[in-house]
Every structure is written in C-alpha cells, then in structure tokens.
C-alpha cells in the first residue's frame, strides 16, 4: 500500500512513472556521483530524493524486474512505517505546507480586496487577484527557498526565475479566473479555489526542476 501511494505521488509531482520507488537495489553510472552527493536526506528519505533529483535533471530511469524474497516475515527490516514514511514525503509535505500558508494568505487578502474594490466593477476581480498574488508570491518564495528546497544559489538567480514563473502562473491564473467568473458565472471564491488547485502541480514541478535547482548538501 505504501509503495502504491508513493508511486502515485511521485508520478504527480515529477511526471515520471516508477513502479517501485522504495527498492534499494539500484545501479547508476559514475557520472551521477556528483549529483547524488548533493542530494539531501538519509536512508529511505534519501532514496526518494534521488529519484526526484533524477526526474528533475531528466536522467533516464530503467527498471529491471526482480523477485522479492522476504525472509522470516521480513523481521529484519529497519523500515519504521510512520517515521520513515514521513521522511519520504517530507519534501513534498513541506511544499504542500508552504503552498497552503501562501494560499491562505492569498485567499484571505483576495477576499478582502474584492470587497474593498467592489465599487470599481469587473476590474476589481483582476486587481484583487494581482495584488493578493504579489504578497503571497513573496511569502511563498522565501518559504520555498529557505525551508522547502534549501537552495544554495543566490537570491538574484532564484528570485528572477521565481518571478518569471510567478508572472506566468499569475497570467494563467487571472485568465482562468476571468473565464470562470465573468464567462461561465461561477462564484468568485469557488472559482479561485478551483484555479489554485489546478495550478498547484505545475507550480511544484517547475520550482523543483527549474527555479531551485541548486541544493544544499
């Protein structure tokens, strides 16, 4: 069950399909040593992070079927279901957490600005969305750079990439929001929620692969 859930999550966040994310029987070329030395984590967490690093760097992953043998009911296993599962998902969970905090800030500010700017008519939705996103994006950038991806690249480098991503996401976000609210007629706060959930996965993949490529050891 754990492997089933993990490979599904890995597929969502990386776009790559791996049937067994937990196997420790792996072979890799010497050319990848420098990359793997920069991957953080220990034990099962490290194994997952290696797969994410390979997906992020477009490294080919080939799987060879083997027969799994559990001796004595696998009593020698050092896997602790709760602790090690948390470590495996920690990077993803931290991204979800930072996104949730930023989303709540964005959502609350958007709702407040929508009321304040309501007298300006249809333009109020776009203005509220842009202003709320500027604040929440700044918060999200700092959380992800310092705590989620722990990037060791300079602020100027990562901030410029993040700004480009944020502008692109904002443009798509605003377009979808306008279509749902003004064209389809969906309630503004419901539309906002739908759009944010749709763009969540895109945001994770681009930040992981492009924005915060440099990692602390």
Is it the case that residue 17 has pLDDT exceeding 70?
yes
Contact 193, 134 (CB under 8 A): no
Q: Clarify whether residues 52 and 131 are in a common domain.
A: no
Q: Clarify whether residues 68 and 160 are in a common domain.
A: no
Over residues 11-39, the mean pLDDT reads 82
**Could you tell me if residue 87 is inside a domain?**
no
Is it the case that residue 105 has pLDDT exceeding 60?
yes
**Could you tell me if residue 216 is inside a domain?**
no
Is it the case that residue 76 has pLDDT exceeding 70?
no
Give the span between the Cα atoms of 101 and 93, in whole angstroms: 12
When the pLDDT of each residue in the chain is averaged and rounded to a whole number, the result is: 79
Give the span between the Cα atoms of 177 and 106, in whole angstroms: 14
**Of 52, 81, 110, which one is at a domain's C-terminal end?**
81
Over residues 128-145, the mean pLDDT reads 87
Give the pLDDT confidence score for residue 217 in this predicted structure: 36
Q: Clarify whether residues 72 and 137 are in a common domain.
A: no
Contact 53, 39 (CB under 8 A): yes
**Could you tell me if residue 86 is inside a domain?**
no
Q: Clarify whether residues 22 and 42 are in a common domain.
A: yes
Domain count, the chain: 2
**Of 59, 81, 103, which one is at a domain's C-terminal end?**
81
Domain that holds residue 55: 2-81
Which of the listed ranges 79-88, 179-188, 199-208 does the model predict with the highest average pLDDT? 179-188
Q: Clarify whether residues 68 and 140 are in a common domain.
A: no
What's the distance, CA 110 to chain centroid?
A: 22
Please give the model's pTM, rounded to 2 decimal places: 0.52
Q: Clarify whether residues 117 and 161 are in a common domain.
A: yes
**Per-residue pLDDT tens for 45-56?**
788 788 888 887
**Of 26, 51, 81, which one is at a domain's C-terminal end?**
81
């Amino acid at each position: 069950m754990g492997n089933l859930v993990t490979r599904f999550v890995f597929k969502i966040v990386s776009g790559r399909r791996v049937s067994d994310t937990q196997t420790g029987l792996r072979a890799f070329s010497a050319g990848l040593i420098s990359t793997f030395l920069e991957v953080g984590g220990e034990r099962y967490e490290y194994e997952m992070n290696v797969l994410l690093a390979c997906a992020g760097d477009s490294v080919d992953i080939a799987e060879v079927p083997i027969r799994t043998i559990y001796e004595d009911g696998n009593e020698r296993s050092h896997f602790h279901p709760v602790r090690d599962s948390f470590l495996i998902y920690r990077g993803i969970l931290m991204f979800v957490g930072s996104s949730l905090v930023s989303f709540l800030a964005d959502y609350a500010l958007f709702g407040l600005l929508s009321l304040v700017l309501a007298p300006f008519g249809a333009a109020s939705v776009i203005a509220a969305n842009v202003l709320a996103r500027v604040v929440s994006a700044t918060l999200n950038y700092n959380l992800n750079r310092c705590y989620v991806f722990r990037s060791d690249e300079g602020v100027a480098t990562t901030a410029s990439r993040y700004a480009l991503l944020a502008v692109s996401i904002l443009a798509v976000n605003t377009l979808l929001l306008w279509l749902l609210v003004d064209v389809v007629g969906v309630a503004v706060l419901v539309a906002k929620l739908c759009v944010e959930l749709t763009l969540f996965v895109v945001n994770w993949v681009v930040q992981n692969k492009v924005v915060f490529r440099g990692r602390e050891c």
